Amino acid sequence: MSDTQTASQKFEFQAEIKQLLDIVIHSLYTEKEIFVRELVSNASDALEKFRHLQLTEKNLPDDPRPLEINITTDEKAKNLAIADSGLGMTSAELVENLGTIAHSGSKAFLKALGENGQKNASLIGQFGVGFYSAFMVAGEVRVTSRSWRADEPAHTWASDGSGSYTIEPAPADTPRGTSIVITLKDDCADFATDARIKHVLEHYSAFVSFPVNLNGKHVNTVQALWLRNKNEIKDEEYTEFYKFQAHAWDEPRLRLHFSADAPLAINALLFVPQENTERMGLTRLEPAVALYCRKVLIDARPKDLLPEWLRFLKGVIDCEDLPLNISRETMQDKALLDKLGKVITKRFIKFLDEEATARPDAYNPFYQNFGIFLKEGAALDHANKDGLTKLLRYESSLTEKGKTTSLADYVSRMKDGQTEIYYLAGATRESIESGPYIEGFKSRGLEVIYCYESVDEYVMNNVREFDSKKLISADSSEIKLPDAPKPPSDDALSEADTKALADWMKTTLATRGVEEVKSSDRLVDSPALALNADKFMTPHMRRMMRAMSQQNKGEDNTAPAEPPLKVNLEINPRSTVIKHLAAAQKAAPEKAALIAEQILDNALISAGLLEDASKMVARIYKLLETA
């Protein structure tokens, strides 16, 4: 067909186009609004190609018009128009590009650039079907285009998507570029409203390289900062971008802006908010790092990109290497997406490590707010466990109250020959230091890490070791402490009297689950301590099961029964209470039995293992009667 002819001509789409159009319209895209993104992306491609021509073509016609995209809505006529001042098309190119589905001028253009050894990452219309997404909402689509070539007239391509299209001459004064006018279906009339299109543009096309004007107003005013040199960006610009991208009102606590060429071409800008809303008791956070490909939004909340523990992050990741599926909505290569996530995760962990080392005054407040996420990662993200464990911070028996230490610093202070890192869980520093389990460590000058949060024991049990040093709870029965310094005057029970008392207590308390009683090498002041005797049911596991069983009570308000309690009891032969018990065991056996049970209950309370205090209360009254 000659480009100069005047009559309208009707064409049938390429073979099986009707079937393919049906797929595009009904199956390819999950949301109808995607068509706006696709058409704006195509317009951006056309502008990018023309900008390239301006650099390479010497005989371009003089045209002072700016390179921009103009969108107009007509609510009354139910029309939406998207126009660009880009490359434009001849009638032959209209047939080739719009009459042949899955043909892509952008793809051919990229190939041509590649053959010349050049690269242009701004071209995004690689798949050739984005234009057809307009038929999801259109009763008719009219495309009027004029090529940049001076001797080529303008033409209008039109179709209702039913299997054919027409091409006819357009007015002689049609400017260079392409204008797409969509007559909307009745049930899609909301796309002819300013507010609806503005929302879609801000969501999907906020960072298109060229100005996007909606009804004469510039929409994409925020720059794609992640593609700029960070040395040229002011703090105020970062804050403005963060507020826009994260829908936030405050300033970010931390930010990471980095680029990488290998193993993937990545540009990322990540932010840590001021506050952890999960910590405030609000709903669980959802992923909020948007995934882009060459400045076009692919997924605002990708669930499988970053590990769960990084759900507090905000920001943007742009990877131009992503092989997208035909609709540009999901990834074809899951392995590549996993690789991208691993690169970002390791880089963020490195960033936090640098912050903790160089700027602890900034890292410590971050950790107070967001440390729970790092603990979650250390326990569950085995690939990054070592890096995350380095970032954990705890108070210890050698730090001041409110001051924390890292496991690396703990290791640097370990005693000669010490092969284990000791920790102890408790509600507060005071409750830990007033309990019996810390005494033996303090008397030997051994540092103990204090764990105040319920998740800490779970973390320690999953991390298991750091720097080849085993992490072990200070209330574990497996601990073998070195000999303690001898007190100046040792008026303890004799070894024989202690063994006799221990044997008697074991027999007396056997019905309470006590399996062993022996003299302790870790007690200094306290009379006794209880150690878990069941290796398969640690105190931590028992407490978790108790909490879960309370949540899962049956209709009769009863909880599933816990496994029988099994404990080992260690007694302190230097304690006045134990020495009095030894005397009472011979002089008043019944009273001694009550005292022994009370000593056990006190030890179980310190261990967090006492299940029912009602019997203890009755026993205390009985003891008071005999006092």
**313 vs 521, higher pLDDT:** 313
| β-pairing verdict for 469-473 and 528-532 | unpaired
Which pLDDT score, from 0 to 100, does residue 336 have? 83
Summarize pLDDT for 113-150 with one digit per residue, the tens: 555 544 444 444 444 567 888 998 999 999 999 999 88
Residues 157 and 574: their CA atoms lie apart, in Å, by 99
Mean pLDDT of the chain: 86
Residue 2 has pLDDT above 50, yes or no: no
Residues 518 and 505: their CA atoms lie apart, in Å, by 9
pLDDT band at 99 (very low <50, low <70, confident <90, very high): confident
Summarize pLDDT for 528-563 with one digit per residue, the tens: 999 887 766 666 566 666 666 666 665 656 655 666
State the average pLDDT over residues 581-589.
92
252-261, 266-275, 417-426, 532-541: which has the minimum mean pLDDT?
532-541
Summarize pLDDT for 329-380 with one digit per residue, the tens: 555 567 888 899 999 999 999 999 999 999 999 999 999 999 999 999 999 9
Summarize pLDDT for 20-63 with one digit per residue, the tens: 677 767 766 778 898 999 899 899 999 999 998 988 887 787 77
- Both tokens of 471, joined, read 């992490």
| DSSP assignment of 34-50 | HHHHHHHHHHHHHHHHH
Predicted TM-score of the model (pTM): 0.78
89-103, 269-283, 573-587: which has the minimum mean pLDDT?
89-103
SS3 content of the chain, % helix, strand, coil (to 5): 40, 20, 40
Cβ pair 66, 176 in contact under 8 A? no
State the average pLDDT over residues 454-464.
92
Residue 17 has pLDDT above 70, yes or no: no
Domains and CATH numbers, the chain: 9-218 (3.30.565.10), 225-390 (3.30.230.80), 394-485 (3.40.50.11260), 492-554+565-627 (1.20.120.790)
- Both tokens of 395, joined, read 């108070």
Residues 203 and 218: their CA atoms lie apart, in Å, by 15
Summarize pLDDT for 191-236 with one digit per residue, the tens: 999 999 999 998 888 888 899 999 999 999 888 999 999 999 999 9
